[in-house]
Homo-oligomer: A and B are copies of this chain.
Amino acid sequence: MSQNIYDDPDFFAGYMTLDRQVRGHDGAAEWPSIRAMLPDLRGARAVDLGCGAGWFTRFAAEQGAAQVVGIDVSTNMLERARSETTSSVVDYQRCDLDELSLDSRSLDLAYSSLTLHYVCDLDRLLAAIADALVVGGALVFSVEHPIYSAPTAQSFVTADDGSRYWPLDNYLVEGERVTEWFVDGVKKQHRTIATYVNSVVAAGFVVDELIEWGPTAEDVMAAPALADDRHRPWFLLVRATRVD
């Protein structure tokens, strides 16, 4: 069972101040990259695993999806999602992703944004997703980048000469990381890039593209405060296709 930190009132209050919660996709810097990984949504049957406040489910409906199911474990999030969604093609369901089951060959797209690093049994979930997708269906997801999730101390160090670096340790030590994020005790699962890729392949997918997302050199010129984020990626984005 994954931790349901989003139903912690203090966490939720803090989380909802994030730009990506206030402004949705416009406040999520990686959105243009993950959007470019999506298949044509017209007529598609899609699921959003960890749908949060429903930004993606509404986007998919606007793009012409035939059916979109948003799944989340947080009642706080689902309440917010339902209150802001009017489309008749969107449905929401409460479920812990460690216990998810889906109908076989019922989906064209499985989408997940910054959620799978909470899931304890990734292989089980990927098998369920693979079974639910039609052959040729797409899996598109983002997670906290393993370089970001690995270290004991997840903050930059300033060297004596003023240069900045990310103090990477325990990259190869997979498993639970307990961090402070709005509240103490937020639990995430650290996995290496190889584990993500190999698990996706083992579930029956072909990997189409990886993006280790961070600002570009041009982004940093426009916003110098982003310079640190060229040192280590924020997110890992994966696009894969279900094969038989």
Contact = CB atoms under 8 A, between A and B. Distances in A.
Grouping DSSP codes into helix (H, G, I), strand (E, B) and loop, the A interface class, with mixed when no group exceeds half, is mixed
A36 interface: no
A86 to B, nearest CB: 38
A147 interface: yes
Interface stretch (A52-60, A66-74, A226-234): A226-234
A206 interface: yes
Give the interface residue-count category, chain A: 35 or more
Contact of A147 (B168, B206, B210): B168
Contacts of A171: 147, 166, 212, 214, 230-233
A90 B175 CA distance: 45
Interface centre among A157, A197, A209 (most CB of B within 10 A): A197
B165 A230 contact: no
Nearest to A198: B209
A231 B150 CA distance: 9
